[in-house]
């Protein structure tokens, strides 16, 4: 065998090795496309990610939009659009968490484990697919909001950052949901997180202004994760203080990722080897 043949064989080994970096990239992309295709074909995921948030935004604009504008002298869309974008990100994450639990119970994760697939590609693909889903859903919600009068007033860079906040927030929440989904025996535990999502929505500064809540609960509303993310997105789209809410949003998101990343990775590996 010539030296050239040996180098070619070595290159082929690197490309095809199950644990190689190139295999991680290739297998992650393949599994990402599998997840996105399945979500697109799943009516529940589409309902939770796109249809329900748009209908919720329309309802809020019709029912409480006028009252909020009279109370604050500001367009209520600049609070409700960020909140609905975040709700869409969280609701879709819950739906995908339920689907993950079903794949585990059906043995699909275990079948992937015995195939010559990079061990880290499954979890990496879910993170990438979640980010793409959340970003796409946010874009759709913003496009729908423009029909109601929503406009970016702080320039294109602020608009780009506006679209990325739900991705960061949603991925942090997805880490928690994944950790619960791979450990819980029943999908009802994951679905119960939807109750938490509803509480975060109704007690946030995106639903009604902070001053509209009773004094005793205002600190909770002001500092809870959805409120700080809403305040950040409001500042990026209209006006307001940005640094404080942005730092708090990053702190909440990074904190959730740090807290649940290891349990999610360990639980995913444990569920795949069953």
The listed range with the strongest mean pLDDT (80-84, 115-119, 193-197) is 80-84
Of 34 and 239, the one with more pLDDT: 34
Q: What's the token pair of residue 62? A: 């019709």
Name the most confidently modeled range: 60-64, 123-127, 155-159: 155-159
Count of CB atoms situated within 10 Å of the CB of 150: 21
Give phi and psi for 163, each to the nearest 5: -70, -25
Check residue 51 and give its pLDDT.
86
Q: What is the pTM of this model?
A: 0.86
CA–CA separation, 146 and 163 (whole Å): 14
Question: What is the mean predicted confidence (pLDDT) over 187-204?
Answer: 78
Banded pLDDT at 191 (limits 50, 70, 90)? low
Confidence of residue 2 (pLDDT cuts 50, 70, 90): low
Residue 254 in tokens: 């990074």
Which has the minimum average pLDDT: 42-46, 89-93, 186-190, 213-217?
186-190
If you average pLDDT over residues 78-88, what whole number do you get?
92
Cα 247 to chain centroid, rounded: 18
Q: Are 234 and 240 in contact (CB under 8 A)?
A: yes
| Interior/surface letters 33-66, b for 16+ CB within 10 angstroms, e for the rest | eebbeebeeeeebbebbbebbbebbbebbeeebe
**pLDDT confidence bin for 8, thresholds 50/70/90:** very low
Number of neighbouring beta carbons within 10 Å of residue 219: 11
CB atoms within 10 A of CB 107: 12
User: Would you state the pLDDT for residue 259?
Assistant: 93
Instruction: State residue 148 phi and psi, 5-degree precision.
Output: -95, -5
pLDDT at site 159: 93
> What pLDDT, on the 0 to 100 scale, is given for residue 207?
87
Work out the burial of residue 261: count CB atoms within 10 Å of its CB; fewer than 13 is exposed, 13-18 middle, 19 or more buried.
middle
Residue 17: per-residue pLDDT: 64
Give the residue among 182, 128, 165, 129 at the shortest CA–CA distance from 245.
165
* pLDDT of the residue at 5: 45
How confident is the model at residue 220, as a pLDDT? 92
């Amino acid at each position: 065998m010539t030296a050239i043949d040996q180098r070619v064989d070595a290159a082929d080994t690197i490309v095809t090795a199950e644990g190689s970096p190139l295999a991680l990239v290739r297998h992650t992309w393949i599994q990402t496309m599998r997840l996105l295709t399945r979500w697109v074909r799943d009516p529940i995921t589409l309902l939770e990610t796109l249809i329900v948030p748009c209908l919720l935004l329309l309802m809020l604009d019709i029912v409480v939009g006028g009252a909020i504008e009279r109370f604050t002298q500001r367009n209520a869309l600049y609070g409700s659009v960020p909140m609905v974008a975040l709700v869409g990100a969280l609701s879709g994450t819950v739906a995908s968490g339920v689907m993950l639990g079903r794949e585990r119970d059906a043995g699909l994760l275990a079948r992937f484990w015995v195939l010559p697939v990079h061990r880290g590609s499954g979890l990496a693909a879910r993170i990438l697919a979640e980010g793409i889903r959340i970003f796409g859903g946010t874009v759709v919600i913003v496009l729908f909001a423009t029909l109601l009068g929503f406009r970016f007033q702080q320039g294109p860079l602020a608009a780009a950052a506006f679209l990325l906040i739900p991705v960061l927030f949603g991925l942090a929440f997805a880490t928690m949901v994944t950790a619960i989904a791979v450990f819980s025996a029943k999908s009802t535990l994951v679905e119960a997180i939807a109750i938490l999502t509803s509480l975060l929505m109704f007690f946030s500064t995106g639903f009604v202004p902070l001053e509209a809540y009773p004094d005793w609960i205002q600190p909770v509303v002001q500092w809870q994760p959805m409120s700080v993310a809403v305040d950040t997105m409001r500042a990026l789209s209209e006006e307001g203080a940005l640094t404080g809410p942005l730092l708090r949003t990053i702190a909440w998101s990074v904190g959730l990722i740090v807290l649940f990343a290891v349990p999610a990775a360990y639980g995913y590996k444990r569920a795949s080897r069953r």
